[in-house]
Structure 1
Amino acid sequence: MQRILIPTDFSENAWNALTYAMQLFCNKQCTFYLLNTYTPIIPSSRFMAKMVDGERIVDAVRDSSELGLQKTVERIQKQFNNPYHQFETISSFNLLSEEVKEIVDTFNIDLVITGTKGASGIEEVFMGSNTVRIIKSVKKCPILAIPRHFNFISPTEIAFATDFNRFYTTSELAPLLEMARMFQATIRIVHVQYTIKALSELQQFNLNMLRRYLKDVEHYIHTVSELHSVSKTLEIFSKELDIHLLAMLNYQHSQMEKMTREPIVKKTAFHTQIPLLVIPEIGMEGTTTKAKTREHSFPSS
């Protein structure tokens, strides 16, 4: 059973991410953890304190959060009514990125799915500040970010952006391979170069290993020239090849890591309108450690 965390603020943007998740995993047994966080502003001045009780503000906001989650579950069950899906709700007085990180650890989450609003005032920018903070803080499971206006399409064409400078482990590639097998998808490995040149010895080795991992999945290698920026190049590549999902590995000095630095996100304006799968740097022991944790937490009967 998949354990999937979906933060929601009850907006249409968040609902769009929820409906995408329901359709993506319609044939999978899943437990969905729906999270809403709240941080009410409690008046501190003497004048305001006489008029409003701080504790009552927190209680009211918490009640509103819990009611919103209950209504969201009812709406999902009414629209999809999927016997494969179970729901747990979590209402928390905490910062979103901190709570997501804690829940991933506590419940051994397999995937975080979040909607993206984009920067304020620039609707077409792909990643908003909450999404960026989640990507930067969550290091133990992949994150799937859904653009605000994206309607579900079975991801039969998946792009995996890489520069071949890093060795990939089986545990890191597992989310990409699982997605490809679920939808019998083609994986298009895209390598963006400022100037087209032959791969180095290290890059060639990493490419060969990558192809070994993907041997059971239809895949192609695409080397493309950079246009203005890597982000813009990936956007154009995705449009031209009708890509349904873009996957990137997030590690130190990677393109994904550069894009999640706040100032650079604003300058780069990643305009892609397709879902983005961000895979964390798990390392060689990732799969083994997770398996042991699960065995300890949920012993077989």
Structure 2
Amino acid sequence: MIKILLPTDFSENAWNATEYGLRLFEREDCTFYLVNTYTPAIVHSRFMATTASGGLLEDNVRTRSESGLENIVEQIRSKKIGEGHQFETISSFSILTQEVKELVESENIDLIITGTKGASGFDEVFMGSNSVRIIKSSNKCPVLTIPNEFQYKPPATIAFATDFKRSFSPRILAPLKQLADRFESALQIVHIQQEEELEGFQKANRDAIMNYFAPIRTTLKSLPYFSSKSDVLQHYLVEHDVDMLAMVLYRHGFLEELVREPVIKRMAFHTRIPLLVLPE
């Protein structure tokens, strides 16, 4: 039984991510955990005070949260996607990242699926603040982010971007391999060539990755470094009609740089496809 966590703020983007997850695992036996938290990102001491008015406010917000989750389950069931799907709802007076972290541990979650933007949905933002926080705090569970309005289609082609400067254990790469196996996807190992030739340790890491994915249709793509890394990668994804991008989040890596850059710098990287983030 695959266990999938679906954080939601009841936005259209969150529902789109939910529907994508349902269709991606349509033929699998899954338990989907729908979670909504209703504590502000920064909790004020007076908000937490146990006053009569504070208690009433909390009750009202909890009721809205619980009814919102019930509505999502009803909407899911009306779609009739996946006979082997089960659903659990969690409405929690908590901070989202803390709740997600605890659920990953207590329920042995296999995958988190979230939208790239929240209720605000600003077009100029590469990824919403909650999505970034979930990725950064989920150091034991892969996260699949779904762009706003992305329409589901099976991932026939998946790109895995790496600079070969890290050696990755099978445990890190296993979720990507399982996904590619499930859909018989073509896997493209993408390297942005910033140097004339790879160092010895990079060649060893490259060969290890290629060997690990050998049972899958795997090709190696070296991209010329003509601009910024984000420009090169974005151009490649569009040019080759890639359905999903996978990357490992590690310290001082490209993905970490991307999610912490100011908005103006990351505007160039507007991936229109799902992004699978594998934790190091």
TM-score (normalised: structure 1): 0.86
Which of structure 1's runs of 4+ aligned residues deviate more than 4 A?
Answer: 40-45, 118-122
Report the Cα distance in structure 2 between the residues aligned to 1:244 and 1:167, rounded to whole angstroms.
25
Residue deviations 1:51-93, cap 9 Å, x none? x811101001001100110110011011125321000000011
**Partner Cα distance (2:121, 2:21) in 1:** 27
**Partner in structure 2 of residue 299 of structure 1:** none
Number of aligned residue pairs: 275
The answer to whether the aligner puts 1:268 opposite 2:266 as a matched pair is yes
Kindly provide the amino acid, as one letter, of the partner of residue 94 in structure 2.
Answer: N
Letter in 2 for 1:113: I
The runs of 5 or more residues in structure 2 that have no matched partner are none
Q: Is the 8 A contact 1:191 1:222 kept in 2?
A: yes
Query: Structure 2 matches for 1:81-160, cutoff 5 A?
Result: 81-117=81-117, 122-160=122-160
SS in 2 for 1:53: helix
CA displacement, residues 144-167 of structure 1 (integer Å, 9 cap, x when unaligned): 000011100100100000001111
Change in Cα spacing, 1:42 to 1:224, as seen in structure 2 (3 Å) is: closer
Tell me: CA distance 1:211–1:70, structure 2 relative to 1, closer, same or farther (3 Å): same
Cα displacement (A) at 1:125: 3.5
Summarize deviations over 1:93-134 as a string: whole Å, max 9, x none. Answer: 111111111111111100000011179684154311111111
Over 3 Å counting, the alpha-carbon distance change for 1:179 and 1:265 in structure 2 is farther
Instruction: State yes or no: 1:29 paired with 2:29.
Output: yes
**Structure 1 position 210 matched with structure 2 position 174:** no
Normalised by the size of structure 2, how large is the TM-score? 0.92
- Aligned CA RMSD, in angstroms, stands at 2.2
Alpha-carbon distance in structure 1 between the residues aligned to 2:102 and 2:118: 24
Identity of aligned residues (%): 48
- Asked if the contact 1:119–1:128 (Cα under 8 Å) also holds between the matched residues in 2, the reply is no
Q: Given that residues 144 and 275 in structure 1 are in contact (C-alpha distance below 8 angstroms), is that contact kept between their aligned partners in structure 2?
A: yes
Does the CA-based 8 Å contact 1:9-1:36 persist in structure 2? Answer: yes
Give the number of the structure whose alpha-carbon radius of gyration is greater: 1
Partner Cα distance (2:32, 2:225) in 1: 39
**Preserved CA contact (<8 Å) 1:119 1:266:** no
The whole-number CA distance in structure 1 between the counterparts of 2:81 and 2:156 is: 25
Q: How does 1:5-84 map to 2 (within 5 A)?
A: 5-39=5-39, 53-84=53-84
> Deviation at 1:265?
5.4
Q: Distance in 1 between matches of 2:155 and 2:125?
A: 22
- State whether residues 26 and 81 of structure 2, in contact with CA within 8 Å, keep that contact through their aligned partners in structure 1: no
Letter in 1 for 2:66: E
